[in-house]
Structure 1
Amino acid sequence: MPTLEKLPNLRILKLDHGAFTGKKMVCSAECFPKLDSLTLGWLENLEEWTVDEGAMPTLRHLEIGHCRKLKMLPDGLRFITTLRQLKIEMMPMAFKDKLVEGGEDFFKVQHVPSIIFLNLYEK
């Protein structure tokens, strides 16, 4: 990620099917300055994701699917006020339960106008 996040004009990034193999992904402050859309899918080793304040300042669409070891969204997501759509697909029902109103992580996404959950499963 340290190399990718410095690309100044990157607008769409899709990491899937082993494109990222680490356990922890970090998006540092000022990373991806023009990123509009981010997709994380089938990242089977991903357990933790950190987003620093100031990261991805223009992100509008975020999609996460099939990242079964990822237990929660990063706290720093609350600072991405441009986010308009969050799509969660093929993740455990417990992941959704944290994000809905009243859930322990709702504060991270309460500013997002459209949150879509598809094909969730019980673990």
Structure 2
Amino acid sequence: MQTLGRLPNLRILKVHRDAFTGKEMACSAQSFAKLDFLSIYRLHNLEEWKVDEGAMPALRHLEIFECKNLKMLPNGLRFITNLRKLEIGWMPKAFKDKLVEGGEDFYRVQHIPSIVLENCE
């Protein structure tokens, strides 16, 4: 992720089907400067995702599907003010429940105008 984060013109990134096999993924400050769309799909080993303040400042659309071991969304999402759409699907009900209004992680996503939660157990 560190190498990809330094690509100056990367706008679309799809990390699918165990393309990333670690348990922890990190996006450091000033990484992914022009990234507009990020899709994370079927990263079965992923448990923790860290996003530093200043990472992915241009991100507008984020998809997370079938990353069933991911415990929570990164706290740093709350600093991505351009984020307009968050789609989450096929995740555990406990993950979804943290994100709805009144959930313990709602403050991380409350600034996002469109949040779609589908097929969460």
What TM-score comes out, normalization by structure 2 length? 0.99
Task: String of CA shifts for 1:32-75, please: whole Å, max 9, x gaps.
Answer: 00000000000000000000000000000000010010010000
Question: How many Å separate the matches in 1 of 2:77 and 2:21?
Answer: 22
Question: Any stretches of 5+ residues in structure 1 without a counterpart?
Answer: none
Structure 2 match to 1:17: 17
Identity of aligned residues (%): 68
Counterpart AA for 2:22? G
Counterpart AA for 2:57? P
Question: Any stretches of 5+ residues in structure 2 without a counterpart?
Answer: none
Per-residue deviation, 1:117:
0.7
Query: Cα RMSD over matched residues?
Result: 0.4
Structure 2 match to 1:61: 61
Counterpart AA for 2:41? G
Aligned length, in residue pairs: 121
What TM-score comes out, normalization by structure 1 length? 0.97
Structure 1 match to 2:2: 2
Per-residue deviation, 1:18:
1.0
Question: How many Å separate the matches in 1 of 2:2 and 2:13?
Answer: 14
Counting only pairs closer than 5 Å after superposition, residues 1-123 of structure 1 correspond to structure 2 as 1-121=1-121
Question: How many Å separate the matches in 2 of 1:97 and 1:2?
Answer: 31
